[in-house]
Amino acid sequence: MGVPRQQVSRNRQTIINTASRAFRERGVEAAGVADLMKEAGFTHGGFYNHFPSKDALAAETVESTFRWAVGEHRKLVEATANGQPEALQAGLNAYLSPEGRDNPGDECPTGTLAVDAARQGGAVQAAYAKGFEDVLRVMALHFDPDPQDEPAAEKSRDDAIALLITLVGGITLARALGQANPTLSERVLAVARKRLPGRDQPPKSPLKKG
């Protein structure tokens, strides 16, 4: 077989990880199979030993990227609840910063992959929707870690949705303006940071003013 089983699955994961960055940076369509394989250190013919199609890779990559992101979010939410009250706020501020804006390949896919999900549809959109639900669940825990009834659960969920709307809207606009009007782009980030739902809110929300 030429390549040990263990190495094969490592290589497969390398392709997914490479695609994960490339898709977030350039978009699913703009990142070609040959490019991805080259970046991952292979010739492009071998791609189809691992995946039946580019679409299948895209769907699995979206899944994989959200799995990572949800883990990161969980860490922040748990740290915030357990003695590091600034943890989540700091993470969100970093996301809504020029660094976060200019490094989409390192950041949460909720923003970057939204348009790809909308335009690609099918398995990619399904993976995005599942990932988004997972992100939502984790963020809702932050607003209410133990909702006592259905209305309370819905409220925390809506709070999480509002938070994600602001994050995605802010980062999307900041990236759209990035090169052409850097000043306005940073103003958008500043407004988004300042108006993050959860700020200036009473009891239930442990989010601190930063």
Among 13, 32, 103, 210, binds DNA (CB under 7 A): 32
Q: Where are the beta strands (DSSP E) in 165-204?
A: 197-200
Verify binding: residue 56, a second copy, rule CB under 8 A. no
Q: From CA 138, how far away is CA 75, in angstroms rounded?
A: 10
Residue 39 C-beta: closest distance to DNA, Å: 12
Q: From CA 158, how far away is CA 167, in angstroms rounded?
A: 14
Do 201 and 79 touch, CB atoms closer than 8 A? no
Given DNA, a second copy, none, residue 191, with its beta carbon under 5 to 8 Å by kind, binds: a second copy
Q: From CA 42, how far away is CA 171, in angstroms rounded?
A: 33
Verify binding: residue 200, a second copy, rule CB under 8 A. no
The separation between CA 186 and the C-alpha centre of its own chain, rounded to angstroms, equals: 20
Do 143 and 81 touch, CB atoms closer than 8 A? no
Verify binding: residue 85, DNA, rule CB under 7 A. no
Q: Which tokens belong to 115?
A: 């348009």
Nearer Cβ to a second copy, position 11 or 205? Answer: 205
Residue 9 C-beta: closest distance to a second copy, Å: 28
* Cβ density class 30-46: b for 16+ within 10 Å, e for less: ebebeebbeebebeeee
Verify binding: residue 75, DNA, rule CB under 7 A. no
Going by C-alpha positions, the residue among 157, 164, 153 that lies closest to residue 197 is: 164
Given DNA, a second copy, none, residue 74, with its beta carbon under 5 to 8 Å by kind, binds: none
Nearer Cβ to DNA, position 10 or 67? Answer: 10
Among 3, 30, 34, 94, binds a second copy (CB under 8 A): 30
Among 19, 20, 47, 100, binds DNA (CB under 7 A): 47
Stretch that binds DNA, among 40-48, 90-98, 119-127, 173-181 (CB under 7 A): 40-48
Verify binding: residue 119, DNA, rule CB under 7 A. no
Nearer Cβ to a second copy, position 37 or 127? Answer: 127
In three-state secondary structure terms, 200 is strand
Nearer Cβ to DNA, position 4 or 151? Answer: 4
The separation between CA 114 and the C-alpha centre of its own chain, rounded to angstroms, equals: 9
Write out the residues near DNA by the rule CB under 7 A: 1-8, 11-12, 31-35, 42-50, 53-55
